[in-house]
Amino acid sequence: MDRITKSLIEAFLKEHEIESEGEAIDFEKFCNYCVLSREYPETFKVEDVSVGSSNDTGLDGIAIIVNGKLVDSIEEVDDLADINKRMEATFIFIQSKTSNTFDSGDMLKFFEGVSDFFAEEQPVLERNEMVEYKAKIATHIYSKKSSMMVRGRPLCKMYYITTGKWTDDKNLVRRMSAKKHEIEDKNIFEKVEIQALGADEIRKLYQSTKLALSTDIGIIFDF
């Protein structure tokens, strides 16, 4: 990991009074914070969206936004649906690697984890407690609130982040395209987006949180 990214992570931990848990976990929380700050302009606790640990199914961050609010319980979903008389949802998934390369195997595990998160029957991958908890919220949204999705199906946004440089590798782009179409074929999303971010992009995201600016930093793959 380069010195600038390390310095920004240290500043992030200090500002939010988060105790270091090692480089990999610290980077995961840093990336979760940066991405969600871009997607959700309100205050939030990064711990509420950080799910990375054993049996995380390749997912380090999961955020569910319903009617413009970050939710962390089925009760919150029901309350917002009752108040607004409608249901708009966005699912955000994040995978972060301290590696300076974009590994196709790790990327595929991430996309498979997202796909398995929405399994209608028994999931293939073993889930930790936090991933299972988030999945139950998603299941509730689809099974109990679909009739209230008057403005369209939910959105699915995926962020894969490393400390390297994204170079539009053709092989990786093809693999990402295949996985994107596989998730689209579930026919449960209005739109599916994938962004691959490197060190430069995640630094810009963090800096934008300090400047309170919405910065276009990544590549949205529209295959």
The pLDDT of residue 54: 83
The pLDDT of residue 212: 59
Q: How far is Cα 109 from Cα 96, in angstroms, rounded to an integer?
A: 12
pTM reported for the whole predicted model = 0.93
Q: Which residues of the chain have pLDDT under 50?
A: 213-215, 219
Element holding 204 (H helix, E strand): helix 199-211
Which of 16, 71, 79, 30 is closest to 48 using CA atoms?
71
- For residues 22 and 85, the answer to whether their CB atoms sit within 8 Å is no
The pLDDT of residue 222: 55
Q: How far is Cα 223 from Cα 138, in angstroms, rounded to an integer?
A: 25
pLDDT tens across 35-66, in order?
A: 999 999 899 999 999 998 888 889 999 999 99
Q: Where are the domains of the chain?
A: 3-193
The pLDDT of residue 221: 52
Which of 221, 209, 173, 211 is closest to 36 using CA atoms?
209
